[in-house]
Structure 1
Amino acid sequence: MTGRPVSSIVFLLLDQFTLMSLASAVEPLRMANQLSGQELYRWHTASADGNPVWASDGVPITPDGSILSAPSADIVIVCGGVGIQATVTGELVKWLRGQARYSKRLGGICTGSWVLARAGLLDGYECSVHWEWLAAMQEAFPRVTLSTSLFTLDRDRLTSSGGTAPLDMMLHLIGRDHGHELAAAISDMFVYERIRNEQDHQRVPLKHMLGTQQPKLQDIVALMEANLEEPIDLDELAAYVALSRRQLERMFQKYLHCSPSRYYLRLRLIRARQLLKQTPISIVELAVLCGFVSTPHFSKCYREYFGVPPSDERSVMDSERSIVLKPVIRASPAPMPMNVMEQARGEATFASVKNLKP
């Protein structure tokens, strides 16, 4: 041991948090300790009351303790997932604000950014969140700058979208603290071909379908997505990418199997459904925000596309939010077989990276 200061992190687990995102954030820390042969990072898990919480895949997780018993840490990271709005309580908001007053660095992974924003701790900051929640956060928190980046580091706030994006964020932090060689070695251990950075953006579903092909089609869809409240005329869209309207229609039919107007309508309805499920915005306001000329027209289009009127879907969501999830309480957690650093010493790669940044 060289006497390097240990960075400590508390992961706050909320009900229905995404287990994959948590693992993507924690595993790089474990591997940093193993490869360096030093305890560079120490982590602690907490829930609001110390009781087990459900991950979004149905796995019950027993944390190390409650937020009130959590040790002092350099960074507090909120781990969100499904149904994030229902997990925000006055107690959590008060505790997080207290951490901010003590100048702690605060972070959120997956939908954890929502909780920080709800506590007023992202006002004036730029942040990342899973793309599915971008629209809802833009409406709910106008003082927060939303980014489509995989992760965002803005002063003392670090936020990441879901899936494997927390892995990139933590590798970036490790590289900044202890050098690129260690971060690269961790990436190799996880068979992770490239460490992505803040300039990498979340992929929208269209890009998954088309890859790097058809850049004009992607440009038009990006324009559509950015102009849902006031839809752009199809002739203007075609002119923007130097196509005729007929060429535009053929392109949509060939690659997206529908007309441009139908695709535009689909985008507006999908956003409307996200806002309907994730915000308390009235159906009248929703219709305006998503570019419909009247509420009856919106309701008709919504019912034809999703099979139910928006009023019925809102009623179902309200009833689901009233259900309180009860975590499984185990008498006592299984004992950890050995300290994680002691376990790391038995690995062949222990202390294999020596050239850490001073």
Structure 2
Amino acid sequence: MREVKEKRHFNTLLRDANSAFLPSQDSGEKTIRVGFILLEHFSMMAFTAAVDALVTANLVRTAPLFSFCTFGLNSVTVKSDLALDISTSGELSQLPLEGEEALDILIVCGGYRCSLAEQPPLTAKLKTAARHNIILGGLWNGAIALAHAGLLDQLGCALHPDNHAFARERFKQVKVSDRVLVVEEKRVTSAGPSSALEMMLALIEQVQDKATVRAIREILSCDQVADSDEARLILPADDPSFPETLRNLLRLMSSNIEEPLSVDELASFVGVSRRRIERLFQTHMETTPSRYYLELRITHARRLLLQSDDTIVNIAVACGFLSSTHFSHCFKDYFGISPSQARQKQRG
């Protein structure tokens, strides 16, 4: 195998898995500031799901994309639905809506036992935020606060089912949806904890890009439960959009990292021609079988390098490289630094 001289780039599938370790492509854009207003008895699960999406977005990019802060209505501590007192960044009166520290996104976090009564100071703040063109959202029944402020009139709105009857009776101008999340241009709402994550991913795609969302899903969606209720890890070879032959090829490659199979050997195992394999990879993954196999092995090597204390020589052998020198060249071509530099950076 010849040494790789030119700079390499990962194909879409494996680029998402490696995005946090690739050379920085910082565009110079400012970090998006997200504020959460925590109502008394807010859903901790919905809140943490939303925050998890933001934190993971920062993990999968070399430059921070988001920062977040929290606010109570009239206290710096708020009791969650788990009866835990949560410290916030400040009170509602301290909400930054103007200047350099102004929020870009503001989300009201509700919960099953949250009061649905209007809070005039909150209504005033939300109206001010809307005038400053801030994106507004609601988790669980947090959208009720937006409705009180008249900020959902003629718009769709997702709420916990327990609040549908109240909202439809009280807010005639709001289109209460049976969907678990609704994303409008400047309004985003979700009905519960699971949809809170999906709402944030939709929002991140809106203010960032699809590639960032794919990279977040690479981390957060690996343990989703299948329709059969059988809990199993989600791997690229499980993608239902791929033909069965391609899924079998991906499984074969994943099972043969240390001693890579040739394309002809892969063809023999799955019972199709070499040309058919090349067409499958080009059509569904926009790459060649050999290129994907190399990226799969270099990704496996990156994980071993940063998660174990094994020697670089042993890692190179375990990932099917002919020598540590060849491995180092390939690694640097993809990640911009040598294996030893990557390990040192991770630890220091």
The TM tier, using the shorter chain, reads: 0.5 to 0.7
Identity of aligned residues (%): 29
Residue 192 (structure 1) shift: 4.6
Query: 1:20-35 counterparts in 2 under 5 A?
Result: 20-35=45-60
Query: 1:187-202 counterparts in 2 under 5 A?
Result: 187-192=217-222
CA distance in structure 1 between the aligned counterparts of 2:222 and 2:178, rounded to whole angstroms = 22
The answer to whether the Cα contact below 8 Å between 1:50 and 1:64 also exists between their aligned partners in 2 is no
CA distance in structure 2 between the aligned counterparts of 1:47 and 1:87, rounded to whole angstroms = 16
Count of equivalent residues: 200
- What does residue 146 of structure 1 align with? 176
SS in 1 for 2:94: coil
- What does residue 124 of structure 2 align with? 94
Distance verdict in 2 for CA 1:156–1:177, change over 3 Å: closer
Distance verdict in 2 for CA 1:189–1:131, change over 3 Å: same
AA paired with 1:9? V
SS in 2 for 1:9: strand
CA distance in structure 2 between the aligned counterparts of 1:169 and 1:179, rounded to whole angstroms = 14
AA paired with 1:36? R
Residue 180 (structure 1) shift: 2.5
CA distance in structure 2 between the aligned counterparts of 1:137 and 1:87, rounded to whole angstroms = 11
- What does residue 111 of structure 1 align with? 141
Residue 42 (structure 1) shift: 1.0
For each residue in 1:290-311, what CA deviation from the matched residue of structure 2 results, as whole angstroms up to 9, or x when unmatched? xxxxxxxxxxxxxxxxxxxxxx
- What does residue 83 of structure 1 align with? 113
- What does residue 125 of structure 1 align with? 155
Residue 179 (structure 1) shift: 2.9
Residue 134 (structure 1) shift: 1.1
Instruction: Return the TM-score normalized by structure 1.
Output: 0.52
AA paired with 2:88? P
SS in 2 for 1:127: strand
AA paired with 2:165? A
CA distance in structure 1 between the aligned counterparts of 2:156 and 2:130, rounded to whole angstroms = 16
Query: 1:334-345 counterparts in 2 under 5 A?
Result: none
- What does residue 309 of structure 1 align with? none
**RMSD of aligned C-alpha atoms?**
2.4
Residue 82 (structure 1) shift: 2.9
AA paired with 2:151? L
* Structure 1 spans left out of the alignment, 5+ residues: 195-207, 209-346
Which one of 16, 36, 42 corresponds to residue 41 of structure 2?
16
The answer to whether the Cα contact below 8 Å between 2:76 and 2:89 also exists between their aligned partners in 1 is no
For each residue in 1:13-39, what CA deviation from the matched residue of structure 2 results, as whole angstroms up to 9, or x when unmatched? 000000000011111111111110111
Distance verdict in 2 for CA 1:102–1:175, change over 3 Å: closer
Larger radius of gyration: 2
SS in 2 for 1:84: coil
Instruction: Return the TM-score normalized by structure 2.
Output: 0.54
CA distance in structure 2 between the aligned counterparts of 1:104 and 1:70, rounded to whole angstroms = 12
Residue 52 (structure 1) shift: 0.6
Q: For structure 1, which segment, 22-31 or 130-139, has the greater mean C-alpha deviation from structure 2 after superposition? A: 130-139
CA distance in structure 2 between the aligned counterparts of 1:181 and 1:102, rounded to whole angstroms = 28
